[in-house]
Amino acid sequence: MNAARAPIAELDHGAPVRRVAGFMRLLRTNGFRVGLGETRDASVIMASAIGLSPRRLREAFKALCCSTHSDWERFDQLFDSYFLGRGVKRAVRMTGASRDNRKPARRLGEAGSPEKNSPADRIESDAGQSVGSPADGPARRMSASPAEATQAKDLRRIVVPEEVALANALAQRLARSMRARLTRRERVRAKGRRLDLRRTIHSSVAKGGEPLDLVWRRRKPKPLRLVVLLDASGSMEPYTPFFIRFMHGVVDAFREAEAFLFHTRLVHIAAALRDRNVTRAIERLSLMAQGIGGGTRIGESLADFNTWHARRVIHSRTCVMIMSDGFDTGAPGVLAREMRRLRKRCKRIVWLNPMIGWRDYEPSARGMSEALPYVDLFAPAHNLESLAALEPYLARI
C-alpha cells in the first residue's frame, strides 16, 4: 500500500484507524453520506480477518459506505485511489465536480420557500414581460438575491456552470414544493363520512363493549400524477437541457411522475431520469434520444403516447404537461385528433411554450392552433419565474 500518495497529509503507516478516518473524510468530501458510526464500523472491519485482503476490504467498505446506486458506481475508483494509489488525481477531482451539482440543491431546498406570492393570474400577465425586460430589471436586481436574478433570465442564457446548478436547484425545489402542497391536502380529517367499524370496536373494548367513541373513515384522495412530455426538436434545442433538468427534479420529487421525450418519435425517459446524478442522467438521455434536434412530429408522437402509454400512465388525477413550441412538421389534422384523444383521458393538460416569453409572439403556428382548443392552461416557460407561477395552479388540480 502506498500511503505517501494518499491525499490525507497526516496519514500514519502504523495506525489503521487513522487511515480509515482519512478514507471516510475523502468519501465525505465526495458526497457520500458517512458518519461516525460508519467510521467505527469500518475500523471493526479493518481489524477483522478481512483487513488483510484489499479486494475483500473493498467489497466490505463498499457495502458499508454506499447508500445509493451512484455511490456504488464510483466507490471502487475512490477506494483504489486512496488505498492502492491508482489514478488518484483525476478520479478525485472528477467526482468532486459532480458533487457540486448536488450540494446547492440541498442547501437551497432548506432555505425559505420560493416566491410564494406568485398567484395563478401571473401566468397570463407574465406573457408579455420577456427576457430581462429593462423596465423590470433594475428594481429587481437591487433587492434580489443571486438566485432571483437567475429566475428572471431567459433560460437560453443560462450557460455558466454555477447558474446551471442554480437553475437546476430551483427546478428541483419547485417540484418539491408542488408535491408538499399536494400531499398536505391529503391529511385525514377527524370527521369522515363512514364509520370505521374495526377501530370503533377496538375503542369500545375499553368501555366494556359499548361503542361510545365512534371512529370515522374518509376516502383518501389520490396524489396528483404528473406526466411530462418534452419536445426535443431543433427549434427547442436551447431550452432542452433546462427542461430536462426540470423533469429530473419532477421525477425525483413527485411520488408519481412519468417523463417522455419526443422529436420524430417518442421515448420513455423516466427510468433514465431516476438517476440522481443530474449530469449522468442527461448523458444517458442524450444516448437514448438519438435524433434530437431534428424535425418534430408532435401529432405522431402523441399518437404513440395515446396508443402505448396512456392506458398505463394516466389515471383519474393525472396532469399532462407538454413542453413544446408547437412547430409541427407532421401531417395536418393528426395533432388535433390526438389532442382530442388525450383530452378524454386526463384531468388537465398544461402546455408550456417557451416562445410566449418572446415579445409579440402569437400562437399562430399550425400545430399550436390545432392543439390550443384542448389545452387547459397555456403558459410561458421561458424562465424559472414562469415555472414557479405554475405552482398554485398545479396545487389546485
Query: What are the residues binding other proteins (CB under 8 A)?
Result: 33-35, 37-38, 41, 44-45, 48-50, 56, 59-60, 62-64, 66-69, 71-72, 198, 201-202, 205-206, 208-209, 220, 252, 255, 268, 274, 276, 288, 308
**Shortest reach from residue 324's CB to other proteins, in Å:** 23
Q: Which is nearer to other proteins, 216 or 358 (CB)?
A: 216
**Shortest reach from residue 346's CB to other proteins, in Å:** 20
**Shortest reach from residue 320's CB to other proteins, in Å:** 19
Q: Which is nearer to other proteins, 65 or 390 (CB)?
A: 65
Which residue is associated with the grid cell 401529432? 299
For residue 333, the tally of other CB atoms under 10 A from its CB is: 11
Amino acid in position 107:
R
Distance CA 357, CA 242 (A): 15
Q: Which is nearer to other proteins, 184 or 198 (CB)?
A: 198
Asked if residue 168 lies in contact with residue 278, where contact means CB atoms within 8 angstroms, the answer is: yes
**Shortest reach from residue 237's CB to other proteins, in Å:** 23
Pairing of strands 318-323, 194-195: unpaired
**Shortest reach from residue 10's CB to other proteins, in Å:** 27
Q: Which is nearer to other proteins, 64 or 131 (CB)?
A: 64
Q: Which is nearer to other proteins, 75 or 242 (CB)?
A: 75
What cell numbers appear for 231 in the block? Answer: 419536445
Instruction: Provide the strand spans (E) within the chain.
Output: 194-195, 216-217, 225-231, 257-262, 266-268, 318-323, 348-353, 377-380
Distance CA 38, CA 64 (A): 7
Q: Which is nearer to other proteins, 56 or 280 (CB)?
A: 56
Start-to-end CA distance of the chain, whole Å, equals 60
Among 285, 286, 280, smallest CA distance to 74 is for 280
Distance CA 397, CA 388 (A): 16
